[in-house]
Structure 1
Amino acid sequence: MSLIRVGTTYIPVRNVAESLNWYVEKLSAVKTYEDDRKAIINLADQSFFLVKADEGETANFKDSEGNEQFSLTFEVDGYDKLAELHKEFARKEIRVGEIEDRGHAGNNFVFYDLDGNKFDVWSELSVGFKENT
């Protein structure tokens, strides 16, 4: 017996309707459900629940050195796609960090949603994903 895949990720948001609109407009997510406490979207071949939470709650955490960390990394296929997505996010007025070389394969940048949830984008596709597609 083994885990096969991640099916759902839960993201805390202050206002479900506003956050849902942001994800659909800015990230081209597809809405599959909405009520006053949660919305379900499909994004990057995964289901995400946008869950109403208290003000200031995010999926971010601090590492042992006090740096704010993201809990999720999206992948794109190569540096050119990363740079193109970075420009597109900036054009859509999404808060983005600079493209970084972090000393491992590929490059990354971070971006934030409407509620301050921090996400990462990496220029390398996982080996298992490449093999299966």
Structure 2
Amino acid sequence: MQPLLKAVNCIYIPVADPHKAADWYEKYLGLNRVSPRGDVMLLGNGMWMFLSISPGQTSNFVGGDGSVISPFTFETDDIAALHQSLTLSGICVEPIEDFGGCGLKFWFKDPDGNRFHVWQDSE
């Protein structure tokens, strides 16, 4: 059977204040604002990321083993530079892990407590 779903078109991130969050994503992750309202960010591949008002919520869930999981993984072409930049900016980041043929990864948190996974292909 041919899959009836093609791809993920956009993502929504719960934040307390979309304008403050957009400032953060712009400053620390280099994302550009798409919307004149300032609550939509553009990822490097053209995907839109909506910053949605939802105080006290995060995009994370707890897995069966009790770990906090992000429903998606960001991809980068330079994980070492991103990790160093976030670390030097005082952002909560975990160490880079090497998963051999599966690539490199680390986790970081935004100011609203969203815990995100970042990955880089090892090829």
The 3-state SS of whatever aligns with 2:6 is coil
What letter is aligned with 1:49? F
Q: What CA deviation, in whole Å up to 9, does each residue of 1:11-39 have, x standing for no partner?
A: 0000111111101111111111254xx81
Which stretches of structure 1, 4 residues or more, deviate above 6 A after TM superposition?
A: none
Tell me the equivalent position of 1:62: 62
Q: Is the 8 A contact 2:15 2:53 kept in 1?
A: yes
8 Å contact from structure 1 (residues 71, 118) kept in 2 = no
Q: Where does the alignment leave 5 or more consecutive residues of structure 1 unmatched?
A: 127-133
Q: Distance in 2 between matches of 1:109 and 1:122?
A: 7
Deviation for aligned residue 1:102: 4.7
- Aligned partner of 1:105 in structure 2 is 102
CA distance 1:66–1:118, shift in 2 (3 Å) = same
> When the two structures are superposed, what TM-score results if normalisation uses the length of structure 1?
0.79
Q: Percent identity?
A: 32
Query: Given the alignment of the two structures, is residue 52 of structure 1 paired with residue 49 of structure 2, yes or no?
Result: no
Runs of 5+ in structure 2 lacking a partner? none
Contact persistence 1:74–1:121 (CA under 8 A): yes
Aligned length: 120
